[in-house]
Structure 1
Amino acid sequence: MPLEAAARLVSELTSRGYNAEREAVTRLTAAENPNAALERVLEEVPDDALVVRVDHVEAALATTDAGGTTRSDSPASEPAEPTPSVSTGTSETVDSDPTDQSPVETEGSSSIGRSTGPATAERSADPALRSLEITGDMTGESTGTGEYEDFVSVFRDRLDRLGGKLRSRVNHRPATAIQEMPGGSEAAMVGLVNDIRSTASGHWLIELEDATGTFPWLVMKDREYVDLVDELLCDEVLAMEGTLADDSGIAFVDSMYFPDVPRTYEPSTADRHVQAALISDVHVGSQEFMEDAWNAFADWLHTDQAQHVEYMLLAGDMVEGVGVYPDQDEELDIVDIYEQYEAFSEHLKKVPGDIEIVMIPGNHDAVRLAEPQPGFDEELREIMSAHDPQIVSNPSTVTLEGVSVLMYHGVSLDEVIAELPEEKASYDDPHKAMYHLLKKRHVAPQFGGHTRLAPEERDYLVMEEVPDIFHTGHVHKLGFGKYHNVLAINSGCWQAQTDFQKSVNIDPDAGFAPIVDLDTLDVTVQKFS
């Protein structure tokens, strides 16, 4: 199919307020006279249709002659009214907190604004310039049975892969080898944090575990790196160096290392000016779903100000779900889970059809709660087939024109915020909690807590490669910044404050759409509420 012709048809449909199925565009382009076929389709498409479907095209082509021209008895088509739109108005710059300590947080060329005005977008870029690749999608690859061996396998894989990033930095010895070393020896170990506890004297005892056993490491309260202890989570991978006590039963810690993102990391950027909208937590089906804000967002995507937005990444919780928490049914606008997804699909159809969409599930979606979460089953995929979105597992990495985006819904952020001191992780600054996951190179390190984790042969939650962008949702708070040059974004939500959020004093950031320039990694926040 000629890409230029397809792009022209999509642009024309968008300018008239329609989206289109990919196969419908393919069939139009294959017609001998695509423009005439398009006009015939627009004449016959139902008045209430938002999406041009294959059956609309087939019906129109059936009434055109063999030469591809419209039959002479066909009335001339009238251009459709342009879609109402929302565009950026007066902007307010969001400044970095000058009190932030290293790592430096930068928030790019950020703005928040809203105004209204008629306009139509024309995404004129050649579709051949686009590039979208998925890695880490474990949908259909789950092997976990819940047997003991599965748990052993996932933790060994975690230790092998993250430990490999640390062993070159220390003179690593297995736990059993350290136990045999003479007192006063210098020792180093890479292992999983098995236990963290304080002593009667105010020191900290960290027990590391590797494939051979465990060994205790004592962090003295007067050492400067004792501040790192309150960042530790059980089951994360860590390296420690120190000196063995005289009886060799314990080691005094001199330094500790995290897998971390190298401070010299340089992210990749796109070769042209192209943007991606990063959103999450739509929660269709809830009485608090902000339909007007969503419609304003969809309208804005049809405007000239959004002409460079060619990708949309949705990080979970498309719907409110059913039975997620006690008495949830009292707060539902739609009580049937399939009807919730059908309603979500209708809202998705309002997004321009020439925007590439990638979606992962969240904890409110109709998939297993244990992470990693496979993508949706075929029935739900069929319901959400508008725009032919890429539906992948939580987490997954999406590479857009060379820029890698790690998409993770973000349930573990609750645990990070609960376990770490408020000044290091809070709901008001969710991106700072994300920094700690980047530092640990794992999206959900702690096993057995509030975050449900599924044992698999491979730990799909490890950050094997450093992402250029780390995108999460879940906590319904907007926050973004850079950690060692990795852009971390929590994208807020499209749901007004619920009774549960009131009870825990969470005021959501709803109706915001962070827009990322993939060529610069600058962020602009559009507000629609």
Structure 2
Amino acid sequence: MPLETPSRIVQELARHGYNAEREAVTLIAGAADPATALARAVEEAGDDAFRVTAADVRAVLDAARSADAETTPSPTASPTGDSTPAPDPSVSSGDPGDGAAARAIETPDETTGGRRRREANRSPVPVDIAGDITGQSTGTGEYADFVKVFKDRYERLSSHLRGRVNHRPAEAIQRMSGGSDAAMIGLVNDIRSTASGHWLVELEDTTGTFPCLVMKDRDFASQVDELLMDECIAVEGTLADDSGIMFVDSMHFPDVPRTHAPNTADRHVQAALISDVHVGSQEFMADAWTNFTDWLHTEEAHAVEYLLIAGDMVEGVGVYPNQDEELDIIDIYDQYERFSEYLKQVPGDIEIVMIPGNHDAVRLAEPQPGFDETLRDIMDVHDARISGNPSLVTVEGVKVLMYHGVSLDEVIAELPEEKASYDEPHKAMYQLLKKRHVAPQYGGHLRLAPEEKDYLVVDDVPDIFHTGHVHKLGWGKYHNVLAVNSGCWQSQTDFQKSVNIDPDAGYAPIVDLDTLDMTVRKFA
């Protein structure tokens, strides 16, 4: 096929089973006969390689130039008796002149792909991943496991609140005299309204429960609308005369400190944040994906060194009713094979980190471990880093909390529209940051896997919070944390029409890791 564009070169390499460094694609595109250069580069790489490198292509081009030089006629005499060298057409550039184009390929300038500049500038600090459940799961589903995970949740979240209130355990508050000042940290066990329109919030700690009354005319009463079951809060107030209830004067959340100073990279480098690719669906936007990967091969994208994918690589099988009628690929392993082929279109020098989502072939209960060895083998062509959902990924010193985002459905369903909606998914993400937990409410649609520790607690404040799942694009900053929901790569399905979801598809948020500024590029 014609190879006049980098995209077609990448596709042809993928057909042969290879990925490629960005500069390798640039060198092939600049050759006089790209098809021949590609074929010889594949031979040079060898059958046991996954990636065609710039070194492979240069070796091919250098060999072609050497062969060309051996067949070039000797200098001939001009009519004046001077020796004039004959033109030396370059196999790599087609330049009939003095070979300047060939020399340009040997030493790329600022417009020729950027791999050398990357290697010179790349930070020696590797990508670091924390909070990964993969290989660490110990839960058996027994009652004791659930007790452990909620105790761990309470202890870790209460640590963010103990310095702000003079906390007393529930059993100690029950023994205090009426009219005393009191403060308690607990998990929300129940919320109900009284006949007078006040709010009764029951909190639970490791010693028992205690009822707390929020009067409807208090300044902070609207915060009750933000409460979810099982989240951790602190309250301060005064005990009733009979000590049977606390009248709440203030309410506190674990929250991100307003003084949070985000980490930034010490050089100009960018990360692309995407999610919900959904390969295997009839609605997967292959053209938009190719436009995206084409752009990644351009000089304009030379600073993009990381691609972070927040789940749902494939459409999956049996995820929702009648899904089989909307599948382009009906076998789950074939879906991952196809995703792997699309992943090969990404430049080989971009580091990829990906976590699973609810459409992926992992357990549905969160935290979700990363893919099993079979799927890792299928997707290893790009040496992608695969982690669990959620994971805290440190890139160039910047902490990125990656979470697929299933809990956003419940946050949006439970909270008032002005505080969480599908049209502004980042506001729902703000709520999770405020609660310092990515999935606080237990017992709804979200499945929770009981473990010895609660992997869903947000211990370290991230600099970027990246989610997907809801197929809507939204971003903003909450206490200096950049929250990004990155949309999807799947146009509207019949199921989405039935539940009134109009997806934002074909977008790629690009974050400057040195400033945490963000631009959004559309490829559909």
Q: Give the TM bin, normalised by the shorter chain.
A: 0.7 to 0.9
Counterpart of 1:159 (choices 154, 157, 168) is: 154
Q: Corresponding residue for 1:219?
A: 214
User: How far apart are residue 390 of structure 1 and its match?
Assistant: 0.2
For 1:151 and 1:265, locate their aligned partners in 2 and report how far apart those are by CA, in whole Å. Answer: 32
Q: Corresponding residue for 1:486?
A: 481
Q: Corresponding residue for 2:426?
A: 431
Any conservation in 2 of the 1:15–1:122 contact (CA below 8 Å)?
no
After the TM superposition, which residues 239-388 of structure 1 pair with which residues of structure 2 at under 5 Å, given as runs?
A: 239-388=234-383
1:171 aligns with 2:166: yes
Q: Corresponding residue for 1:208?
A: 203
For 2:281 and 2:50, locate their aligned partners in 1 and report how far apart those are by CA, in whole Å. Answer: 33
Determine helix, strand or coil for the equivalent of 2:381.
coil
User: How far apart are residue 12 of structure 1 and its match?
Assistant: 3.3
For 1:392 and 1:52, locate their aligned partners in 2 and report how far apart those are by CA, in whole Å. Answer: 30
Q: Corresponding residue for 1:142?
A: 137
Q: Corresponding residue for 1:12?
A: 23
User: How far apart are residue 78 of structure 1 and its match?
Assistant: 5.2
Counterpart of 1:121 (choices 88, 92, 113) is: 113
Relative to structure 1, the CA distance from residue 445 to residue 475 in structure 2 (aligned partners, 3 Å threshold; closer, same or farther) is same
Cα offsets for 1:407-428 (capped at 9, x unmatched): 0000000000000000110000
Identity %: 72
Relative to structure 1, the CA distance from residue 337 to residue 56 in structure 2 (aligned partners, 3 Å threshold; closer, same or farther) is closer
Q: Corresponding residue for 1:4?
A: none
Following TM superposition, the consecutive aligned residue runs of length 4 or more in structure 1 with deviations greater than 4 angstroms are 39-43, 55-58, 69-81
Relative to structure 1, the CA distance from residue 348 to residue 78 in structure 2 (aligned partners, 3 Å threshold; closer, same or farther) is farther
Give 1 or 2 for the bigger CA radius of gyration.
Answer: 2
For 2:461 and 2:342, locate their aligned partners in 1 and report how far apart those are by CA, in whole Å. Answer: 34
For 2:28 and 2:198, locate their aligned partners in 1 and report how far apart those are by CA, in whole Å. Answer: 66
For 1:395 and 1:240, locate their aligned partners in 2 and report how far apart those are by CA, in whole Å. Answer: 29
AA partner of residue 311 (structure 1): Y
Relative to structure 1, the CA distance from residue 385 to residue 238 in structure 2 (aligned partners, 3 Å threshold; closer, same or farther) is same
After the TM superposition, which residues 23-38 of structure 1 pair with which residues of structure 2 at under 5 Å, given as runs?
A: none
Any conservation in 2 of the 1:121–1:301 contact (CA below 8 Å)?
no
Any conservation in 2 of the 1:153–1:458 contact (CA below 8 Å)?
yes
Any conservation in 1 of the 2:233–2:254 contact (CA below 8 Å)?
yes
User: How far apart are residue 46 of structure 1 and its match?
Assistant: 5.4
For 1:128 and 1:512, locate their aligned partners in 2 and report how far apart those are by CA, in whole Å. Answer: 26
Cα offsets for 1:139-197 (capped at 9, x unmatched): 00000000111000000111100101101110100000000000000000001000001
For 2:337 and 2:47, locate their aligned partners in 1 and report how far apart those are by CA, in whole Å. Answer: 16
Relative to structure 1, the CA distance from residue 512 to residue 11 in structure 2 (aligned partners, 3 Å threshold; closer, same or farther) is closer
Relative to structure 1, the CA distance from residue 70 to residue 250 in structure 2 (aligned partners, 3 Å threshold; closer, same or farther) is same
For 1:168 and 1:463, locate their aligned partners in 2 and report how far apart those are by CA, in whole Å. Answer: 18
User: How far apart are residue 57 of structure 1 and its match?
Assistant: 8.9
After the TM superposition, which residues 435-446 of structure 1 pair with which residues of structure 2 at under 5 Å, given as runs?
A: 435-446=430-441
Determine helix, strand or coil for the equivalent of 1:228.
helix
User: How far apart are residue 54 of structure 1 and its match?
Assistant: 3.1
TM-score when normalising by structure 2: 0.82
Relative to structure 1, the CA distance from residue 168 to residue 57 in structure 2 (aligned partners, 3 Å threshold; closer, same or farther) is closer
Q: Corresponding residue for 1:103?
A: none
Q: Answer 1 or 2: higher relative contact order, Cα 8 Å, separation at least 6.
A: 1
User: How far apart are residue 523 of structure 1 and its match?
Assistant: 0.5
For 1:57 and 1:74, locate their aligned partners in 2 and report how far apart those are by CA, in whole Å. Answer: 26
Cα offsets for 1:97-117 (capped at 9, x unmatched): xxxxxxxxxxxxxxxxxxxxx
Q: Corresponding residue for 1:522?
A: 517
Any conservation in 1 of the 2:311–2:360 contact (CA below 8 Å)?
yes
User: How far apart are residue 14 of structure 1 and its match?
Assistant: 3.4
For 1:353 and 1:135, locate their aligned partners in 2 and report how far apart those are by CA, in whole Å. Answer: 25
Q: Corresponding residue for 1:25?
A: none
AA partner of residue 54 (structure 1): D
Determine helix, strand or coil for the equivalent of 2:187.
strand
For 1:80 and 1:516, locate their aligned partners in 2 and report how far apart those are by CA, in whole Å. Answer: 35
For 1:377 and 1:422, locate their aligned partners in 2 and report how far apart those are by CA, in whole Å. Answer: 38
Determine helix, strand or coil for the equivalent of 1:224.
coil
Q: Corresponding residue for 2:101?
A: none
Any conservation in 2 of the 1:188–1:240 contact (CA below 8 Å)?
yes
Determine helix, strand or coil for the equivalent of 1:168.
coil
Relative to structure 1, the CA distance from residue 482 to residue 56 in structure 2 (aligned partners, 3 Å threshold; closer, same or farther) is closer
For 2:250 and 2:113, locate their aligned partners in 1 and report how far apart those are by CA, in whole Å. Answer: 55
Q: How many residues align?
A: 455
Instruction: List gaps (5 residues or longer) in structure 2.
Output: 1-19, 30-34, 70-89, 95-110
For 2:121 and 2:201, locate their aligned partners in 1 and report how far apart those are by CA, in whole Å. Answer: 53
Cα offsets for 1:275-321 (capped at 9, x unmatched): 00000000000000000000000000000110000000000000000
Any conservation in 1 of the 2:275–2:488 contact (CA below 8 Å)?
yes
For 2:175 and 2:238, locate their aligned partners in 1 and report how far apart those are by CA, in whole Å. Answer: 14
For 1:510 and 1:518, locate their aligned partners in 2 and report how far apart those are by CA, in whole Å. Answer: 24
Determine helix, strand or coil for the equivalent of 1:399.
strand
AA partner of residue 338 (structure 2): A
User: How far apart are residue 233 of structure 1 and its match?
Assistant: 0.2
